[in-house]
């Protein structure tokens, strides 16, 4: 055990030394957790997006979590796990009572709960305790007894909107925002309730082994037969739908900005070529690509309700591109509609992880049916790594016939998948499971899924600042099917 503890200490020390050295080289301070998040967090030039720093962060975070799990009393840790629901539960309270926007008005000095509730009308005693619980998890800062101010983490719950404006138009709270608060809000509402039913579904429900979109923990929790998407389309869920569409933009901020541009050479596409953005949402990923290739024709496909908003979004953000874009309402589980041109690229970002193997295969076969031999399928999704070494990362990359397929394993004594430094991959896998009977996939699983539907995985492109999460998978048509 001493050897493991020493190993963790060494990794942690080296990671912090590397971060401090990188800061010194750039002549800048590492961002303080006590201040609101700086705009540089959203810039490709931000310190956390420096490749050396980003790698050191990954190692440091993995080591710190493993150290806690190793050092702390196991009883405390396990009982603590049982209480985790309090954390998203309290983030939900704070978001739904607009505390982030209210507190912002008072700057560094902060605000006491009695003053906060004058704006949102909730309980001061309960809110104070909720904020202290969050501050202990480094979300908000208790600046003096009972007085709370923003810190780096809590500031991301802030939409940036004026609280009075929010109160006047609650349904539009997230409209026009960067989507980050919307994403956190979405994760702490339908998602919590859904997950609470997971154990029921796994123990006493004939749907436990289903692959259907309407036989999940979500249907059990909400006592409905509607799929999650159909549920969002109900008129009474307009707020949730708008929030979800906006949230998908917030998802992008989990990656270094511009990752979609650094993980694929969009200039390799033919002049005036065509991209079909399947399940485009508002189409902000396509808009990012359009920033470097405005000559391309973009075809956005999604549910009718989403595409209405997508057209508005493009009209607002890129009026010059709307004319050459197509907004085609589709059900991607049906054969593809007649398209204006044969696509050069079929882009699926966070689509296949919403589908079980059964339905992912159906969608991929429909796409294969409209592809030409040079069409590329581009998939952006998580790739799950095992929590142990596998033949793929033991054998070294040179033996892998698919470039980039093997993710570099973390050094011992860390878990080879970087443990909780990569936690989101596994958390998202559970969210996909609970809402869609779907999944995040291992690389072997991706290879099998593509080959079962007429495609072949040819390459895995990884961003230099984030080599392990969210790679971009490139697949080509298998001829003769
Ligand atoms: C997780 S979001 C991803 C959105 C976008 N690709 C992005 O990366 O931001 C999944 C998208 O698939 C769309 N979708 C779900 N079911 C669909 C269906 N049957 N046909 C077409 N689109 C669908 C949803 O409306 C949603 O916009």
CATH number at residue 267: 3.40.50.150
Question: Cβ(159) to ligand 1 under 6 A?
Answer: no
Say yes or no: ipTM exceeds 0.95.
Answer: yes
pLDDT tens digits, one per residue of 214-234: 999 999 999 999 999 999 999
If you measure from the C-alpha of residue 165 to the centroid of ligand 1, how many angstroms do you get, rounded to a whole number? 29
Q: 238 and 295: one domain?
A: no
Q: Is 175 inside a domain boundary?
A: no
Q: What is the pLDDT of residue 400?
A: 63
Total residues belonging to the chain: 481
Closest residue to atom 3 of ligand 1, CA basis: 350
Q: 260 and 352: one domain?
A: yes
Distance between CA 152 and CA 375 in Å, rounded?
43
Contact 31, 40 (CB under 8 A): yes
Mapping DSSP to helix (H, G, I), strand (E, B) and coil, where does residue 476 land? strand
pLDDT tens digits, one per residue of 360-390: 999 999 999 999 999 999 999 999 999 999 8
Contact 269, 344 (CB under 8 A): yes
Q: Is 419 inside a domain boundary?
A: yes
Whole-Å CA distances, 40 to 16, 37, 197, 255, 291: 20, 8, 39, 13, 21
Set 150, 353, 366, 445: catalytic member: 353
Closest residue to atom 9 of ligand 1, CA basis: 248
Domain stops at, among 20, 52, 80: 80
Q: Is 469 inside a domain boundary?
A: yes
Question: Cβ(186) to ligand 1 under 6 A?
Answer: no
Domain stops at, among 251, 273, 288: 251
If you measure from the C-alpha of residue 328 to the centroid of ligand 1, how many angstroms do you get, rounded to a whole number? 13
Residue with tokens 């840790």: 77
Supply 275's token pair.
């991209």
Q: 247 and 280: one domain?
A: no
Catalytic residue flag (residue 435): no
pLDDT tens digits, one per residue of 42-82: 888 899 989 999 999 999 999 999 999 999 999 999 999 99
Residue with tokens 């589709």: 330
Burial of 1 (0-12, 13-18, 19+ CB in 10 A): exposed
Question: Cβ(280) to ligand 1 under 6 A?
Answer: yes
Question: Cβ(419) to ligand 1 under 6 A?
Answer: no
Q: Is 174 inside a domain boundary?
A: no
Closest residue to atom 11 of ligand 1, CA basis: 279
Q: 41 and 126: one domain?
A: no
If you measure from the C-alpha of residue 331 to the centroid of ligand 1, how many angstroms do you get, rounded to a whole number? 10
Q: Is 293 inside a domain boundary?
A: yes
Nearest-CA neighbor of 409 among 441, 387, 440?
Answer: 387
Question: Cβ(281) to ligand 1 under 6 A?
Answer: yes
If you measure from the C-alpha of residue 280 to the centroid of ligand 1, how many angstroms do you get, rounded to a whole number? 6
Q: 203 and 114: one domain?
A: no
Residue 385 domain boundaries: 256-477
Ligand 1: which of 246, 276, 281 to mutate, judged by most atoms within 8 Å of the beta carbon?
A: 281
Question: Cβ(332) to ligand 1 under 6 A?
Answer: yes
Q: 194 and 223: one domain?
A: yes
Distance between CA 428 and CA 441 in Å, rounded?
11
Q: Is 173 inside a domain boundary?
A: no
Distance between CA 368 and CA 456 in Å, rounded?
11
pLDDT at 30 over 60: yes
Question: Cβ(232) to ligand 1 under 6 A?
Answer: no
pLDDT tens digits, one per residue of 131-188: 999 999 999 999 999 999 999 999 999 999 999 999 999 999 999 999 999 999 999 9
Q: 346 and 328: one domain?
A: yes
Q: Is 211 inside a domain boundary?
A: yes
Question: Cβ(433) to ligand 1 under 6 A?
Answer: no
Question: Cβ(279) to ligand 1 under 6 A?
Answer: yes
Domain stops at, among 80, 113, 138: 80
Q: 326 and 349: one domain?
A: yes
Contact 331, 307 (CB under 8 A): no
Q: What is the pLDDT of residue 457?
A: 97
Q: 218 and 278: one domain?
A: no
User: What is the atom index within ligand 1 of the atom nearest the CA of 232?
Assistant: 25
Supply 459's token pair.
């390459």
Whole-Å CA distances, 194 to 124, 197, 217, 435: 29, 6, 6, 7
Q: What is the pLDDT of residue 396?
A: 52
- Domain count of the chain? 4
pLDDT tens digits, one per residue of 405-464: 888 899 999 999 999 999 999 999 999 999 999 999 999 999 999 999 999 999 999 887
Q: 381 and 403: one domain?
A: yes
Q: Is 26 inside a domain boundary?
A: yes
Cα of 418 vs its chain's centroid, Å: 18
Q: 348 and 293: one domain?
A: yes
Distance between CA 449 and CA 357 in Å, rounded?
7
Q: Give buried/exposed letters for 121-160 (b at 16+ CB in 10 A, else e).
A: ebeeeebbebbbebbeeebbbbbeeebbbbbbbbbbbbbe
Q: 120 and 30: one domain?
A: no
Whole-Å CA distances, 141 to 48, 116, 126, 264, 439: 22, 15, 17, 40, 36
Supply 290's token pair.
């359009």
CATH number at residue 164: 1.10.10.10
Output the CA angle 306-307-309, nearest 5 degrees. 70
Distance between CA 278 and CA 285 in Å, rounded?
11
Percent of the chain with pLDDT over 70: 98
Closest residue to atom 4 of ligand 1, CA basis: 281
Contact 188, 195 (CB under 8 A): no
Enumerate residues 6+ apart whose C-beta is below 8 A from 250.
178, 179, 180, 181, 182, 183, 184
């Amino acid at each position: 055990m001493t050897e493991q503890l020493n190993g963790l200490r060494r990794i942690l020390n080296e990671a912090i030394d590397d971060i401090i050295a990188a800061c010194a080289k750039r002549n800048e301070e590492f961002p303080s957790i006590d201040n609101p998040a700086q705009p540089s967090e959203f810039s490709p030039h931000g310190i956390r997006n420096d490749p050396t720093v980003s790698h050191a962060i990954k190692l440091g975070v993995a080591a710190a979590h493993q150290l806690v799990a190793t050092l702390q009393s196991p009883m405390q840790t396990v009982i603590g796990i049982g209480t985790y629901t309090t954390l998203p539960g309290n983030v939900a309270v704070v978001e739904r009572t607009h505390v982030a926007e209210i507190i912002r008005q008072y700057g560094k000095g902060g605000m006491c709960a009695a003053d906060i509730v004058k704006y949102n009308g909730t309980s001061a005693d309960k809110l104070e305790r909720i904020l202290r619980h969050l501050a202990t998890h480094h979300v908000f800062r208790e600046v003096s007894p009972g007085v709370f101010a923003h810190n780096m983490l809590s500031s991301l719950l802030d939409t940036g909107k004026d609280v009075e404006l929010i109160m006047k138009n609650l349904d539009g709270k997230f409209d026009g925002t960067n989507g980050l608060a919307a994403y956190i809000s979405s994760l702490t509402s339908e998602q919590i309730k859904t997950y609470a039913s997971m154990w029921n579904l796994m123990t006493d429900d004939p749907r436990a082994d289903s692959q259907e979109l309407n036989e999940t923990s979500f249907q059990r929790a909400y006592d409905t037969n509607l799929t999650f998407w159909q549920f969002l389309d109900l008129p009474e869920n307009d707020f949730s739908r708008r929030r979800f569409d906006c949230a998908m933009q917030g998802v992008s901020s989990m990656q270094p900005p511009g990752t979609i541009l650094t993980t694929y050479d969009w200039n390799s596409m033919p002049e005036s070529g065509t991209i079909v953005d399947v399940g485009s949402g508002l189409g902000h990923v396509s808009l990012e690509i359009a920033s470097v290739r405005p000559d391309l024709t973009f075809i956005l496909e999604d549910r009718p309700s989403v595409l209405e908003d997508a057209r508005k979004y493009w009209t607002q953000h890129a009026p010059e591109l709307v004319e050459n874009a197509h907004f085609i309402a589709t059900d991607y589980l049906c054969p593809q509609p007649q398209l204006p041109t044969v696509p050069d690229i079929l882009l699926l970002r966070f689509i296949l992880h919403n589908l079980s193997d059964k339905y992912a295969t159906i969608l991929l076969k429909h796409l294969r049916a409209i592809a030409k031999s040079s069409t590329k399928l581009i998939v952006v999704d998580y790739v799950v790594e095992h929590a142990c070494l596998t033949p793929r990362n033991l054998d070294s990359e040179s033996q892998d016939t698919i470039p980039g397929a093997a993710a570099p394993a973390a050094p011992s004594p860390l878990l080879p998948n970087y443990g909780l430094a990569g936690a989101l991959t596994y958390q998202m896998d559970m969210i996909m499971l609970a809402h869609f009977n779907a999944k995040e996939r291992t690389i072997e699983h991706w290879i099998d899924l593509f080959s079962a539907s007429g495609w072949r995985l040819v390459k895995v492109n990884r961003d230099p600042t984030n080599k392990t999460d969210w790679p971009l998978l490139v697949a080509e048509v298998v001829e003769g099917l």
